[in-house]
Structure 1
Amino acid sequence: MITFFKTLAYRKVNALNERKQHVLNAAKRLFLENGFANTSIQNILDEAGISKGTFYNYFNSKNECLISIIEDSTENSSVLREELAAGRQDGPGLLADQILVRLQMNREQKIIRLYEAILHSGDPDLRNYMKAVHLSELAWLERRLTDVYGEQSRPFAADAALMHFGMLGQYLQFAPDITSTEELSNRILFVTKRTEALLKDMAETDEHLLEAGQFVLSADSPTLPSPRGVAADLLRLADTLPSERRETGREFAVFLSGELSEERPRTALLKTVAVPFRRLFDGLPNESEVRTVMSALWRLLAPDEIR
């Protein structure tokens, strides 16, 4: 009987998530076709075929709906970045590939046009949100530069991240029509190598303007997820898989949740199992929800985060 009610609860949660994703997809189409400013909540209701009450069950405002669209893309790229690193030697090549993932996703999903809509909106809340997104990306790049070039680069990594971000942006603006993976990768790797030279120069002269960790503090990072909560979500999601994938999914989820409950989780094994577990949900209706949970898991697996 308990299993029956658990199944009903899982189905209810999945249905809610699928409906929310349906609304997000409808809103995104309208924002891209008509512009954010020219799209009303009523337009979204009509496009999604929902009531006003349903919309407000998911979002407090049109702004919050737009932010959810961007966060969905950000979570997806974050998960893919971590999956790229699983079982692969770190270095400039991996860093360039991780940057490429975010760049391609922004282009393919036309997220850049949504960023532009925010910048032109004049809305202070949306502008503050975009500032936080920008700072979070700089914080990620600062951390990754320290990972790649060693602890001795930490005092200079914030300046290097800012210069890397600026150089790459200028190269991409200079040639906006370039879309091939190879050409984009070449530009990212070129800028990454120039950044390496800048890091060495700053270290030799012991000069820097920004303090280490400044971007993280400015971005006001969200509270770290609970290992117990992530473990419960993994087990719940495994039970939503189609029958032909469910047994494998449960095995992965039991292992992942078990490791998260340990005093010293084996991070390398967690990363190895997390990738095939997430891929079991490719193409399924709750794929977006799975990315959100996996994003929380990868945050827990960052250095010094668990416990």
Structure 2
Amino acid sequence: MNERKQHVLNAAKRLFLENGFANTSIQNILDEAGISKGTFYNYFTSKNECLISIIEESTGSASVIREELAADGPDGPELLIEQILVRLRMNREQKLIRLYEAILHSGDPELRGYMKSVHLSELAWLERRLIEVYGEQFRPYAADAALMEFGMLGQYLQFAPDITSPEELSKRIRFVIRRTEALLRDMAGNEEHLLEAGQFDLRADSPPIPVSGQVAKEVLRLADTLPAETRDYGREFAGFLSAELEKEKPRASLLKTVAVPFRKLFDGRPNEPEARTVMSALWQLLKSIDFK
């Protein structure tokens, strides 16, 4: 994600929110961004792909922040609450709910299929987190609990859409988490569940696993874009990350420890979205490769 592509995405997002996705043409985006048609098609094959890229940028950023929260402290219900809050705040602050609604009402099979994949991926994440927080003994019941938690929270938020403060949102998430824990224990006590463990993962379209060598190169390149006052720190962090990623058996705990401060060096900088994209690939590697 270079700065020019980010500029096009920002322009498209403004138009989608102001005029609606259906009422925005590619020519409108060209005029708003001040680019040629060739430049647009260099980045995206269609208007649909442009919209998908906007949502992917947001979901990727949320994933990075969630992983960074997990790396900073002990696991438990409070961390899960903070991780869920990340996605809710980002959806509301970036007005993504309006884009989701536009997709649901579009009738476009490609967009609706994409949103289904996003929904399943979120359920798969929540199922995994419930197992991590409450224990392996709840694995057979976590898929049902994730679906019920997702539904309960959605209804509470829809009932009070004007509630946006982190405190009030956390209050509702905490309430739903406590109910979910009770449901988990009840299902386990009765040995009763409808869904099979892991089926959300199986039904979601999994993104391709990043290549560790390519991520290592991108981390080094990012460090060189930092301003002079933080470039040395950045290069030191990047050098460690890159060298560790190139090892046959990278050390996950050390990578997590260094990844967080390195990514934060880009906060408020023009290429902050690009840094989040690269670090999202790093966290994907940490989850998909058996680090020992």
- The alignment's TM-score, normalised by the length of structure 2, stands at 0.97
Cα distance, 1:70 vs structure 2:
0.5
Give the counterpart of 2:8 among 15, 23, 34: 23
Cα-to-partner distance string for 1:115-165 (whole Å, 9 max, x where unaligned): 000001110000000000000000000000010011111111111100000
Cα distance, 1:239 vs structure 2:
1.2
Aligned: 1:155 with 2:146: no
Give the counterpart of 1:179 among 142, 153, 164: 164
Aligned: 1:122 with 2:107: yes
Say if 1:79 and 1:298, in contact at 8 Å, map to a contact too.
Answer: yes
Matched with 1:271 is 256
Cα distance, 1:303 vs structure 2:
6.9
Letter of the 2:75 partner, please give it: D
Give the counterpart of 2:22 among 37, 51, 75: 37
Cα distance, 1:91 vs structure 2:
0.4
Matched with 2:208 is 223
Aligned: 1:188 with 2:188: no
Aligned: 1:66 with 2:51: yes
Matched with 2:37 is 52
Cα distance, 1:181 vs structure 2:
0.6
Letter of the 1:203 partner, please give it: A
Say if 1:167 and 1:191, in contact at 8 Å, map to a contact too.
Answer: yes
Matched with 1:245 is 230
Matched with 1:212 is 197
Identity %: 78
Aligned: 1:282 with 2:260: no
Give the Cα separation in 2 of the matches to 1:106 and 1:283.
Answer: 19
Matched with 1:11 is none
Aligned: 1:200 with 2:182: no
Cα distance, 1:260 vs structure 2:
1.7
Say if 1:85 and 1:94, in contact at 8 Å, map to a contact too.
Answer: yes
Give the Cα separation in 2 of the matches to 1:214 and 1:26.
Answer: 37
Say if 1:158 and 1:213, in contact at 8 Å, map to a contact too.
Answer: yes
Aligned: 1:143 with 2:122: no
Say if 1:299 and 1:305, in contact at 8 Å, map to a contact too.
Answer: no
Give the Cα separation in 1 of the matches to 2:7 and 2:290.
Answer: 34
Calculate the aligned-residue CA RMSD, in Å.
Answer: 1.3
Cα distance, 1:304 vs structure 2:
5.3
Matched with 1:258 is 243
Give the Cα separation in 1 of the matches to 2:7 and 2:207.
Answer: 26
Give the Cα separation in 2 of the matches to 1:249 and 1:120.
Answer: 44
Give the Cα separation in 2 of the matches to 1:261 and 1:50.
Answer: 38
Secondary structure of the corresponding residue to residue 38 of structure 2? helix
Give the Cα separation in 2 of the matches to 1:22 and 1:223.
Answer: 25
Say if 1:135 and 1:215, in contact at 8 Å, map to a contact too.
Answer: yes
Matched with 2:60 is 75
Cα distance, 1:263 vs structure 2:
3.2
Say if 2:145 and 2:183, in contact at 8 Å, map to a contact too.
Answer: yes
Give the Cα separation in 1 of the matches to 2:24 and 2:205.
Answer: 30
Say if 2:11 and 2:29, in contact at 8 Å, map to a contact too.
Answer: yes
Say if 1:227 and 1:306, in contact at 8 Å, map to a contact too.
Answer: no
Give 5+ residue unaligned stretches, structure 2: none
Aligned: 1:233 with 2:218: yes
Give 5+ residue unaligned stretches, structure 1: 1-15
Cα distance, 1:282 vs structure 2:
1.3
Letter of the 1:64 partner, please give it: E
Cα-to-partner distance string for 1:191-225 (whole Å, 9 max, x where unaligned): 01110111111111111111111001100201211
Say if 1:300 and 1:306, in contact at 8 Å, map to a contact too.
Answer: no
Report the count of equivalent residues: 292
Secondary structure of the corresponding residue to residue 302 of structure 1? helix
